[in-house]
Amino acid sequence: MELVTSKVLLKQLLDQARQSGTIGFVPTMGALHRGHLSLVERAVAENGAGVVSIFVNPTQFNDPNDLLRYPRNLDADLKLLQSTGCRYVFAPSVEEIYPEPDTRVFQFGSLETVMEGKHRPGHFNGVAQVVSRLFDIVKPDRAYFGLKDFQQLAIIRAMVQQLQLPVEIVPCEIVRETSGLAMSSRNQLLSPEERENAAVISQTLLKAHRLAGKLSVGELAGHITQTINQNPFLTVEYVEIVNDITLQPVSGWEEPGTKIACVAVWCGKVRLIDNIVFN
């Protein structure tokens, strides 16, 4: 495994690697956990070479304090990656990715006006900026993203389509802690007591899955909100039950398409997201 900080050097190394197989890519912001490792292991297994980027992208944080608080530990990340078979780790500086300010403005229509887009203005434009730049540097055949960030996945697919990029976007299942809590880099910021109580989020979604169809869409969203808010450690920011393609809210179970419940919840000062698909 080789650590690379220069995009010029990485391009040279990948040009060589591409001669003997495909490139699988996992973009991350570091603070790696088992969920990330599952993406990397799949990228390695399905391609000739696996590449991981570790870059905390400033343009996708609408809250400067959130950017400052975001956990960073490159040495620990590199140790975790040793066992995955990853060939290259790209850990650039901000200046390497943004030698000049990125002024591009992406338009994703209704995909970006709901849920995370509504509550974190500018977030998805920053995501599109950095992922498109990373795709230009790595030029992967396949890129791997976790389904926990369901709306982000939809945005990246739309960006790939808009820019006509020759990369396959591979969605990967949510990896959870033993308690059911969706793995997230932000979990590192939780106290042990907060982490224990945060498991109520996934437990509530699992129970909601069994109630789908028995309660109306509105009643179920209200039930999820009320149940989570009953825990003194948790405060719901939003609960939305949406179409999994358009991400627009649904009003009835009889509407066509698969439905998914997406939630954002504050646990102390840490914001957590999760979702569950109603099959």
What residues act catalytically? 36
The helix/strand/coil state of 122 is: coil
Q: Rounded to whole angstroms, how far apart are CA atoms 98 and 56?
A: 12
Tokens (6 digits) for 184? 């997230």
Output the six-digit token pair for 67: 């950017």
- Given a contact cutoff of 8 angstroms between Cβ atoms, the answer to whether 60 and 133 are in contact is no
Cβ contact 97:133 at 8 Å: yes
8 A C-beta contact, residue 200 and residue 231: yes
| Paired strand residues for 5 | none
* β partners of residue 274: 263
